[in-house]
């Protein structure tokens, strides 16, 4: 059965809402609970498809899981499997970070190539090369990648590109390694800091997360974990952009403003006024937004996950905006859908040029990936008339109660099942 969003655009968003726990921090931290062979309590885990899938993989490996709203108890004392089920691997690319955790725990893991959103080729060569640097043998057989080690040995690893997933996989794989592992050119995303904090709370010895040099000193064992996940900066950005495109005002709570400074700067350049309090952002939008240029880069640059979100917002900004997508080559599919709603955009390789129009209009559109799908929601909130967004399963992978939160701000959005 397929689900649709039905959105009647044109309502100004007004009011207060909050940000849920971070999807991209939850996934590696859930994987990390495999390491200690103990009892783990995680708080503020968003109840979304991707976290459910990650928990399903852990269950399949032998963990016992209890879920109560945002609180999850994971008992990882008994694990009886080292193979990540192919169907779950296909569902979600981030399942590849289970590999690092299972290697550290069992010295062996088998998996197939990961799936996930179709936003460009998503190789795992950096993960594999890094495993090999840690003394892990990697071979491909019958479509499986089999990784095995007698002993995991710390080493210096230089990443050609600061891959988020590869950085996390190295941190997980080397927790019990003999000696010290150093990651140079590591990803610096806030989710990496959250993973470091969670691992250290278990007794790991890691420092440097948040810089491009991370040092992991191998330890012998870890203890039980109780940990609260950081708020989702991409969801925060989505709610702010949704408000801005309707000319609305929002008080956003449970947010870490410093995680989205690049977006806040852009929104100010576009004419919004922004007040930042400790865990709160108040945004007031102007009558008419102004065009800005964006270039996506690894953190602390502008996040690729907000490219489509801000891109949709810019379709009604005064002037011409130029976007350069440097992280994933296939992240402009949403613009084809937005054209159906009256947006004016051209794409040339990694660059998109958006000419602002006065208003968008209703259309029947289709989510093509998670963030691209969310960008259609943003556009529909502005559009005249009733927009139908098909394939919203993509959006539900990454947003907890998006429709509910938008309704609480006055949006007219509903889910229709067929
Ligand atoms: C993570 C995020 C995703 C975000 C992305 C970039 C999670 C669950 N997902 O994805 O939302 O969009 O970071 O901020 O946290 N690459 C290689 N070889 C590799 C690995 C990556 O060439 O072995 C390339 C990719 O093709 C891409 C770039 O590196 O061009 C960035 O990918 P990476 O940082 O690894 O993203 P993910 O960890 O998959």
- The DSSP-derived string for 197-239 is HHHHHTT-EEE-BTBSEEEEE--S----EEEEPPB-HHHHHHH
Query: Is there a contact between 100 and 91 (Cβ–Cβ < 8 Å)?
Result: no
- 63 a catalytic residue: no
- Residue 120 predicted with pLDDT over 70: no
* 278 within domain boundaries: no
**238-244: average pLDDT:** 98
pLDDT at 1: 64
Domain boundary pick from 183, 201, 228: 228
* Residue with CA at minimum distance from ligand 1 atom 22: 123
Same domain, 190 and 82: yes
Same domain, 13 and 75: no
**406-411: average pLDDT:** 98
| Rounded CA separation 364/343 (Å) | 14
Same domain, 8 and 49: no
Same domain, 318 and 389: yes
- Residue 342 predicted with pLDDT over 80: yes
Query: Is there a contact between 51 and 44 (Cβ–Cβ < 8 Å)?
Result: no
| Rounded CA separation 35/168 (Å) | 13
Same domain, 163 and 311: no
Same domain, 13 and 27: no
- pTM of the model as a whole: 0.96
- 152 CA to middle of ligand 1, Å? 24
* Residue with CA at minimum distance from ligand 1 atom 21: 163
* 165 within domain boundaries: yes
- 164 CA to middle of ligand 1, Å? 6
pLDDT at 70: 78
From 165, 173, 189, give the residue whose CB has the most ligand 1 atoms within 8 Å, as the site to mutate. 165
- Residue 33 predicted with pLDDT over 60: yes
* 251 within domain boundaries: no
The two structure tokens encoding residue 316: 């009604």
Pairing type for strands 294-295 and 320-324 reads parallel
From 30, 54, 122, 305, give the residue whose CB has the most ligand 1 atoms within 8 Å, as the site to mutate. 122
**243-267: average pLDDT:** 98
Query: Is there a contact between 184 and 212 (Cβ–Cβ < 8 Å)?
Result: yes
Same domain, 33 and 85: yes
| Rounded CA separation 257/359 (Å) | 29
Backbone angles phi, psi at 350, to 5 degrees: -85, 0
* 233 within domain boundaries: no
CATH value at residue 350: 3.65.10.10
Residues in the chain: 418
* pLDDT tier at 337, thresholds 50, 70, 90: very high
CB-neighbour burial class of residue 77 (10 A; exposed 0-12, middle 13-18, buried 19+)? exposed
Measured from the CA of 124, which atom of ligand 1 is nearest? 23
* Residue with CA at minimum distance from ligand 1 atom 12: 305
* Residue with CA at minimum distance from ligand 1 atom 33: 163
The three-point CA angle 75-22-46 to 5° equals 60
Query: Is there a contact between 251 and 15 (Cβ–Cβ < 8 Å)?
Result: yes
Domain boundary pick from 178, 204, 228: 228
Measured from the CA of 191, which atom of ligand 1 is nearest? 15
| Rounded CA separation 30/33 (Å) | 5
In sequence order, the 6+-apart residues with CB closer than 8 A to the CB of 147 are: 99, 103, 108, 109, 110, 131, 136, 137, 138
DSSP letter at 95 equals G
Measured from the CA of 305, which atom of ligand 1 is nearest? 12
Helix (H) or strand (E) holding 414: strand 412-417
| Rounded CA separation 84/96 (Å) | 9
Query: Is there a contact between 302 and 263 (Cβ–Cβ < 8 Å)?
Result: yes
Where in the sequence is the domain holding 300, given as residue range(s)?
3-17+290-417
* 252 within domain boundaries: no
pLDDT at 93: 72
Longest CA–CA separation in the chain, Å: 64
| Rounded CA separation 283/171 (Å) | 37
* 235 within domain boundaries: no
Ligand 1 proximal residues by C-beta, below 6 Å: 24, 27, 93-94, 122-127, 161, 163-166, 187, 191, 304-305, 327-328
Nearest CA-CA partner of 197 in 180, 185, 214: 214
DSSP letter at 354 equals E
* 279 within domain boundaries: no
In sequence order, the 6+-apart residues with CB closer than 8 A to the CB of 3 are: 392, 393, 396, 415, 416, 417, 418
Same domain, 75 and 107: yes
The three-point CA angle 335-338-340 to 5° equals 125
Catalytic-labelled residue, pool 117, 147, 241, 272: 117
Same domain, 193 and 306: no
Beta bridge partners of 302: 296
DSSP letter at 290 equals B
Same domain, 224 and 295: no
Same domain, 66 and 190: yes
| Rounded CA separation 114/67 (Å) | 26
The two structure tokens encoding residue 352: 């998109």
Q: Encode pLDDT of 174-214 as tens digits.
A: 999 999 999 999 999 999 999 999 999 999 999 999 999 99
**147-163: average pLDDT:** 97
Domain boundary pick from 201, 228, 255: 228
- 327 CA to middle of ligand 1, Å? 8
The two structure tokens encoding residue 399: 């947003």
- Residue 117 predicted with pLDDT over 70: no
- 123 CA to middle of ligand 1, Å? 9
**Across 141-150, 162-171, 221-230, 320-329, least confident range:** 141-150
| Rounded CA separation 46/71 (Å) | 9
Q: How many domains does one find in the chain?
A: 2
pLDDT at 115: 57
pLDDT at 122: 62
* 266 within domain boundaries: no
Beta bridge partners of 213: 184
Measured from the CA of 327, which atom of ligand 1 is nearest? 30
Same domain, 42 and 176: yes
CB-neighbour burial class of residue 383 (10 A; exposed 0-12, middle 13-18, buried 19+)? buried
pLDDT at 68: 86
Nearest CA-CA partner of 156 in 188, 199, 186: 186
């Amino acid at each position: 059965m397929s689900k649709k969003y039905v959105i009647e655009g044109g309502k100004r968003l007004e009011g207060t809402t909050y940000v849920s726990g971070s999807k991209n921090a939850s996934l590696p931290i859930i994987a990390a609970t495999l390491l200690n062979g103990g009892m783990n309590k995680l708080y503020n885990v968003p109840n979304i498809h991707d976290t459910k899938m990650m928990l399903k993989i852990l269950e399949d490996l032998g963990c016992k899981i209890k879920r109560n709203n945002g609180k999850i108890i994971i008992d990882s004392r008994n694990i009886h499997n080292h193979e990540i089920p192919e169907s779950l691997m296909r569902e979600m690319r981030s399942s590849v970070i289970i590999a690092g955790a299972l290697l550290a725990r069992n010295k062996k893991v088998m998996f197939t190539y990961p799936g996930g959103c179709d936003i460009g080729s998503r190789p795992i060569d950096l993960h594999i090369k890094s495993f090999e640097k840690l003394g892990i043998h990697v071979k491909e057989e019958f479509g499986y990648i089999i990784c095995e080690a007698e002993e995991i040995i710390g080493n210096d690893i230089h990443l050609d590109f600061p891959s988020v997933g590869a950085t996390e996989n190295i941190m997980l794989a080397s927790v019990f390694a003999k000696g010290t592992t150093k990651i140079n050119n590591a990803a610096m995303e806030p989710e990496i800091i959250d993973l470091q904090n969670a691992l250290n709370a278990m007794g790991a010895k890691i420092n440097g997360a948040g810089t491009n040099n991370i040092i992991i000193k191998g330890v012998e064992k870890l203890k039980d974990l109780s940990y609260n996940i950081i708020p989702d900066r991409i969801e925060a950005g989505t709610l702010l952009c949704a408000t801005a495109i309707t000319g609305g005002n929002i008080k956003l709570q449970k947010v870490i403003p410093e995680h989205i400074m690049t977006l806040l700067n852009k929104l100010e350049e576009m004419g919004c006024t922004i007040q930042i309090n400790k865990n709160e952002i108040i945004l007031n939008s102007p009558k008419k937004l102004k065009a800005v240029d964006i270039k996506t880069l690894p953190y602390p640059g502008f996040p690729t996950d907000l490219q489509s979100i801000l891109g949709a917002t810019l379709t009604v900004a005064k002037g011409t905006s130029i976007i350069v997508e440097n992280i994933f080559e296939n992240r402009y599919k949403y613009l084809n859908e937005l054209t159906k709603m009256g947006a004016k955009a051209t794409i040339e390789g990694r660059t998109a040029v958006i000419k602002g129009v006065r208003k968008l209009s209703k259309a029947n559109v289709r989510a093509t990936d998670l963030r691209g799908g969310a960008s259609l929601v943003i556009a529909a909130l502005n559009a005249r008339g009733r927009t139908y967004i098909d394939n919203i399963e993509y959006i539900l992978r990454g947003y907890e109660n998006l429709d509910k939160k938008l309704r609480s701000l006055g949006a007219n959005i509903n889910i229709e099942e067929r």
